[in-house]
Structure 1
Amino acid sequence: MVQIIRKASLPTPDEVAARTRDAAEQARAVAVREPRPAGFPLLFTRHWQLIEPAVAFLHEHSVQRAHTDDTRRTYAEILYDWFETLEQNDIPWESADAVDLVAYRNRMMAQPSPHTGRPYRTTTINHRVRGVLRFYEWAVRTQWLNASPLADKTRDLRLARHQRPTQASHAATHEHSIFILRQYEALPRPLVSEQARELLAELAPPYDLMARWQLYTGLRISELLRLSVNDIGHRRASATLHHAIEVIRKGRKPGHVIAPASLLDETDGYVSGHRFAWLARARRKGRISEHKALFVNARGSPAGKNAYQRAVSQAGLACGFKATTHLLRATFACMLLARLEHLADRGAKINPLIVVKVLLGHEHLDTTDRYLRAVAVDPCVLKDVLDTLLSEAGAP
């Protein structure tokens, strides 16, 4: 069967047998440029042959495009499952066609997951199928293959989209492909102001401030955790109510967000209060060295993604509704888009979708369009949010 072997660091001489210690010392002395970090997944066949195209695909997306560890792990799991299926059926990966992919998809529809024992969700099936298609499109583009039926765009059946949907009726933009199962698109449903206030009041520092940053700027978690004290500490005094903050976007791309002055003032108070005290206590106990992470936990360590997500989820349960960190970002997107749509209807020369696309750091406009359709489905749900969360006077 296909195996995933995680790249490991070279062993130290004391970790190997006595007869190989000299070789271990020589190996560690050799300067080798190896950009793949420890833990990088390497895929092997049952005959222990490296699956080079799969590793090259993961290398490009992880190292060259600087995708997150979660994205790399997801791509590795998709490729592992696909190559394992091909190996079990003695199908060379170069000759896989539409029949093989449809059979792979149908197998997931008919059989439960071997890991959970539960049936696959439609979203999971479609996600894996899209991952396989993405891999073959990449293989043709990078000339691992001259051509592939799975990289043939003429097989996709897509509906024409309106360039500018009307406010009363927004055309659906679902992906129509012979491989993709039909499913209802889950539109984001933003928090109303009462829910946002309850959630923020339930969260303990620093997670309450992190949630405010997502509500006011729409940052992704990865972008939020990359903020440093230098990112907010070196700004010129200004009478404006908002400031542009430079951030590192998904894929290590430069970008910026617009942060309210009140949020930055609150962040300055956190830096001189909670953060300073936590770091001082950690230094006294000898737990950490100096670091520039903006958000730290009570132990003085940089705040972690899992802990933050867990805190938001538990706070939502305590308040009686479901809350996620992505919902905070979606709330920002929906309420900002609704306000920009209102300004555009009153004659402002702006393209609301483009503005929100830039501020959210989206690569494709289709992603931003989901929020426009969410506003059209239930605009009343945003009224109270627009009156509070984006106004200086009504900030929680």
Structure 2
Amino acid sequence: MSSRTRDIPVYVPEKPVKLLDQFRSWLRANHYRYQTEQTYVHWVVTYIRYHSLRHPREMSTPEIEAFLTYLATQRQCSPATQKVALNSLNCFYRKFLKIDFPPLEFRRSRQYRRPPVVFTDQEARAVIEQLSDPFKLMAELMYGSGLRVSETLRLRIKDIDFGQGQLIVREGKGNKDRITVLSDQLHDRLKLQINLASSYYKYDRQNGVGPAWMPHALARKYSGEASQLGWQFIFPSNEPAKDPQTGIIRRHHHHPDTIRKHIKKAAQEVGLVKLCGPHTFRHSFATRLLESGYDIRTVQELLGHSDVSTTERYLHVMNRGGLGVISPLDRG
């Protein structure tokens, strides 16, 4: 599979024979997001490999408990990672295989509460200035609109509303749509990027390249719309690639690893030693808004957090370190 199309669902036979293909088919039939499918399959495969490729139907409570304990004690996974592994196996056994088991007893991972890494405004702008378009524009959207890297790359032409100064995030985390702010400073360069995407679109139409990829739900709801200009990705990849599910040659968007590499290099060039990446711009967006006095519920809505406690993390890193306490050395 091309790295450019890694977020397009892999092909699964109509009547799958292999157990993992059957699991994938069941997940899709029950409308799980493809990222969830990838995660669940990954942890089921890791679980099977840990138990020397034994068939899952031959294993039950002791094997699941041993695997989850191994994640905590040997791999030292975070509580969040261990919980994802548990959710994956719960879904696989209880929902898919219809095999129930009693409450599990296993070693829980230790909780380490780490505040998010945040750029100062000066650092964010310095990193951005080291980038060139389209990656500079991607970083500015993440910092100026609070987008995740995947949300940035999946933006389509129709998602930009210049008149209202906003953009729409389609099927974000939790499979939710949301509206967030669009900086006035980005309008002109965004229009240039859309013109570039439009030129790719015209070229592809003339040369037999297939329509833009759409998730299953959207493909069913808007049948035929993928061939329209509005549904084209704003940040198209340089070359078309084969759709792993259908075999159709399409032009997908840039791969997330590409922008990650550019941002890592830019941070090194300006001398930043903090561990940072594309998501740091989103953290910084939230922190800047809270520093400016915006209501935490407003920030929660712009970020698309389902729980306000997730947004509250940024209260601990705004203004100053140490929960906003002023050092005695800095008092007049």
Q: TM-score, normalised by structure 2?
A: 0.67
Q: Which residue of 2 aligns with 1:27?
A: none
Of 266, 288, 295, the residue aligned with 1:315 is 266
> How many angstroms apart in 1 are the aligned matches of 2:135 and 2:238?
11
> How many angstroms apart in 2 are the aligned matches of 1:360 and 1:90?
41
Is the Cα–Cα contact under 8 Å of residues 317 and 323 in structure 1 kept in the other structure?
Answer: no
Of 369, 372, 380, the residue aligned with 2:312 is 369
Q: Which residue of 2 aligns with 1:82?
A: 47
Q: Does 1:184 align with 2:112?
A: yes
Higher RCO, Cα 8 Å, sep 6+: 2
C-alpha displacement of 1:75: 2.4
C-alpha displacement of 1:358: 2.0
Q: Which residue of 2 aligns with 1:96?
A: 61
> How many angstroms apart in 2 are the aligned matches of 1:128 and 1:243?
34
Q: Does 1:253 align with 2:183?
A: no
> How many angstroms apart in 1 are the aligned matches of 2:175 and 2:132?
29
> How many angstroms apart in 2 are the aligned matches of 1:376 and 1:64?
45
Q: Which residue of 2 aligns with 1:144?
A: 98
C-alpha displacement of 1:84: 3.4
Q: Which runs of no fewer than 5 residues in structure 1 stay unpaired?
A: 1-5, 7-35, 112-119, 156-177, 344-349, 382-396
C-alpha displacement of 1:304: 2.4
Deviations 1:308-366 (CA, angstroms, capped at 9, x unpaired): 11111111111112430111111112222333xx35xxxxxx5x1x3222211223444
Q: TM-score, normalised by structure 1?
A: 0.58
**Paired letter, 1:104:** F
> How many angstroms apart in 2 are the aligned matches of 1:182 and 1:104?
16
Q: Which residue of 2 aligns with 1:131?
A: 84
RMSD: 4.1
Q: Which residue of 1 aligns with 2:228?
A: none
Is the Cα–Cα contact under 8 Å of residues 116 and 314 in structure 2 kept in the other structure?
Answer: yes
SS at match of 2:302: helix
Closer, same or farther in 2 for the Cα pair 1:358/1:148, shift >3 Å? farther
Q: Which residue of 2 aligns with 1:378?
A: 321
Q: Does 1:197 align with 2:162?
A: no
Q: Which residue of 2 aligns with 1:216?
A: 144
> How many angstroms apart in 1 are the aligned matches of 2:180 and 2:77?
34
Of 264, 277, 280, the residue aligned with 1:324 is 277
Q: Does 1:293 align with 2:256?
A: no
Q: How does 1:108-127 map to 2 (within 5 A)?
A: 120-123=75-78, 126=79
Q: Does 1:355 align with 2:298?
A: yes
Closer, same or farther in 2 for the Cα pair 1:84/1:248, shift >3 Å? closer
> How many angstroms apart in 2 are the aligned matches of 1:62 and 1:128?
23
> How many angstroms apart in 2 are the aligned matches of 1:180 and 1:324?
29
Identity of aligned residues (%): 20
**Paired letter, 1:122:** C
Closer, same or farther in 2 for the Cα pair 1:90/1:200, shift >3 Å? closer
C-alpha displacement of 1:210: 0.6
SS at match of 1:257: strand
Q: How many residues align?
A: 283
> How many angstroms apart in 2 are the aligned matches of 1:149 and 1:376?
44
> How many angstroms apart in 2 are the aligned matches of 1:252 and 1:89?
34
Is the Cα–Cα contact under 8 Å of residues 48 and 55 in structure 2 kept in the other structure?
Answer: no
> How many angstroms apart in 2 are the aligned matches of 1:218 and 1:247?
14
C-alpha displacement of 1:59: 4.4
**Paired letter, 1:189:** V
